[in-house]
Amino acid sequence: MPPSPATSSHSLLGRLDESAFTPRHLRIYVTVLLGHFLCGFVINLTGVILPGVIKSFHLTSASAGVFSSALFAGMLVGAAVAGTVSDRYGRKVPLAITLMVYALFSLAAVFAPSFGALVSFRALQGIGLGAEIAVVLPYIAEFVPSRHRGPLVTAATAAWLIGLPTAAAVGTAVVPVFGWRAMFVIATVPVLVGVFMLTTLPESVRYLLRRGRLDDARAIVGTLCRGAGTTVPTEYHETPVTHGTVRTLVARHYLRYTIAIWFMEVCAGAFLYGLSSWLPSVLEGQGVSLLKSFGYTAIITTAGVVGALLAGQLINRIGRRVVLGGGFVLSGLFCLAWGTTSATGAVILLGSLATFFGSGLAGSTLFAYASELYPTASRATGLGWAAAWQKVGGLVMPVLVGFVLAMHTSQFLFFLLFGIISVLAGIAALVATFETRGRTVEQITQEITGSQAMTDPAMARS
């Protein structure tokens, strides 16, 4: 008697979760990693080009804050919409299209004739950038073996974070010679990566199974994995759901965790994007030359990359809750100390520690957590809405900082804002996080919804 579709689905997921990390896994991962790095690079152009944009269009600090926030308004829309689109229509094609969208609007920004046009192009570019974040991390979480999920998702976030110091380093060489528009020329490169994704990436196996495309899923697993798995996840005993819905995110079982994720994302976005947008200008206002401010920003933000790489190992050992809570709280405390000094060495050290714990350890763990908490049918929707709330923080904080700086208040207030929001995020993490360490994505769903948990030791891999 041939195996039933449910049994075949279970067997395929077992192979997928228990597989070794094969060369095929590596090729797929490197491709999406490159796209995610470029996403981070393009987002973080703001801090690099902002001083030049201010001079070109004779902007006030408040107007400059609006320019910074336009990007995040677009990202908010892109992230909220793309997750649902991806849960309905797959991961591969939406992911490739997101790269093409933000690359094409980079080209448009090169030729922006006015400040209004530049703001519009940056906002439209943000739609593609926000959408990319919503799709890429669920894609990674769904195709890598379970025991590698945490480290590889946080490493992808590290690749994204590398975009910030890379933008600062490239800006140091390019902007003084060619001007700020040249950075948008470089930002058109992702269109090539998007075309490559369309021609080479496989679709998510879990998405295919949800759509009943068992033969397609079996073919991908056959080329991707070695050996046969024994794990039998039970998520597919449920009534199949072919697309995501926001109602899942706010249903009784998930509401507490969803509210906590959204709040932490607002705080994390305010920290990351507010700091990256304004730090070069704040340092320049303290008497640091433009080139040195780019250099300091590159050093400080590189510490966040180191934290993200370390986070992948820590969350598999001590869990998501501790890394999230401890990382955010320590980041807030270092921000407060950072604001009390202007000595070069102390600025670099305290700034590096703040970003190491904040955008590095806590920020990358937060996205890993959001990409695994929700069931497959709503995973991209969940990640998309989490990313959208992060953009709310990115939307509000640059404008708020712009108004604060325009009031010519103490520079300490700049750092006090970041310290407070980081500590609040840490408290939320400690009191309202579901610990996902040691579980497959199917087992996480089972435990949250109260269905029978798996007892197979093979399931306790993450």
Q: What is the pLDDT of residues 111-153, one digit of tens each?
A: 999 998 999 999 999 999 999 988 998 899 888 888 888 889 8
The pLDDT of 376-400, averaged and rounded, is 83
Predicted confidence at residue 45, as pLDDT, reads 87
Count the neighbouring beta carbons within 10 Å of the beta carbon of residue 24.
16
Predicted confidence at residue 421, as pLDDT, reads 92
Q: Which of the four pLDDT bands, split at 50, 70 and 90, describes residue 228?
A: very low
Predicted confidence at residue 392, as pLDDT, reads 86
Residues 6 or more apart in contact with residue 17 via CB below 8 angstroms? 145, 146, 229, 231, 233, 440, 458, 461
How far apart are the two ends of the chain, measured CA to CA in Å? 34
Q: Which amino acid, one-letter code, is at 450?
A: G
Q: Using an 8 Å Cβ cutoff, are 69 and 398 in contact?
A: yes
Residues 6 or more apart in contact with residue 251 via CB below 8 angstroms? none
The pTM score is: 0.77
Q: Which of 194, 226, 163 is nearest to 22 (CA)?
A: 226
Residue for token pair 């094409």: 104
The pLDDT of 260-270, averaged and rounded, is 93
Structure letter (DSSP) for residue 357: I
Does residue 34 have a pLDDT over 50? yes
Predicted confidence at residue 163, as pLDDT, reads 83
Predicted confidence at residue 69, as pLDDT, reads 75
Predicted confidence at residue 408, as pLDDT, reads 66
Q: Which of 140, 54, 51 is nearest to 368 (CA)?
A: 140
Predicted confidence at residue 357, as pLDDT, reads 95
Predicted confidence at residue 289, as pLDDT, reads 59
- Tokens read off for 360: 């590095």
Q: Using an 8 Å Cβ cutoff, are 98 and 90 in contact?
A: no
Which of 55-94 are b and which e, b meaning 16 or more Cβ less than 10 Å from the residue's Cβ?
Answer: eebebebebbbbbbbbbbbbbbbbbbbbbbbbbbebbbbb
Q: Which of the four pLDDT bands, split at 50, 70 and 90, describes residue 235?
A: very low
Does residue 457 have a pLDDT over 50? no
Does residue 6 have a pLDDT over 60? no
The pLDDT of 314-335, averaged and rounded, is 94
Predicted confidence at residue 236, as pLDDT, reads 42
Predicted confidence at residue 18, as pLDDT, reads 84
Sign of the torsion angle spanned by Cα atoms 339, 268, 51, 402: negative
The secondary structure of 39-100, three-state, reads HHHHHCHHHHHHHHHHHHHCCCHHHHHHHHHHHHHHHHHHHHHHHHHHHHHCCHHHHHHHHH
Does residue 226 have a pLDDT over 90? no
Q: What is the pLDDT of residues 69-103, one digit of tens each?
A: 788 789 889 988 888 888 888 999 999 999 999 99
